[in-house]
Amino acid sequence: MYSRFSVHTNVKTSTIMSKTTLTYQIEGTLKNGLQIASEIENEMGMIPVSIETEKESLNYDQVDSNQVRFGFMTEEEYVKKHKN
């Protein structure tokens, strides 16, 4: 399964602020995608907005992402809670 997610951030081009979308495609589970999203947020300061799996488009939530990553919430519960 592929987890694909988009990270939205502001990029300054000369004197104009514009929104840029970066999309990463990750082969693995939703949990793998949430781990990468968390690392991008922590290391680069860019906050993920959404995650797209083969089946769903989901809102990214940092707290629930950590719940999944550390085994306190299942992937299915995350999907149900954050489905667009």
Residue ranges of domains in the chain: 2-82
Strand partners, 11: 18
- State mean pLDDT over 44-55: 82
Q: What percent of the chain has pLDDT over 90?
A: 29
Give the tens place of pLDDT for each residue, 10-38.
Answer: 444 555 556 677 777 888 888 988 998 88
Does residue 8 have a pLDDT over 80? no
Query: Dihedral, CA atoms, 42, 47, 49, 50, nearest 10 degrees?
Result: -20
CA angle 9, 62, 81 (to 5 degrees): 110
Separation between Cα atoms, residue 56 and residue 76, nearest integer Å? 11
Q: What is the pLDDT of residue 75?
A: 94
Residues 6+ positions from 66 with CB-CB distance below 8 Å? 38
pTM for this one?
Answer: 0.77
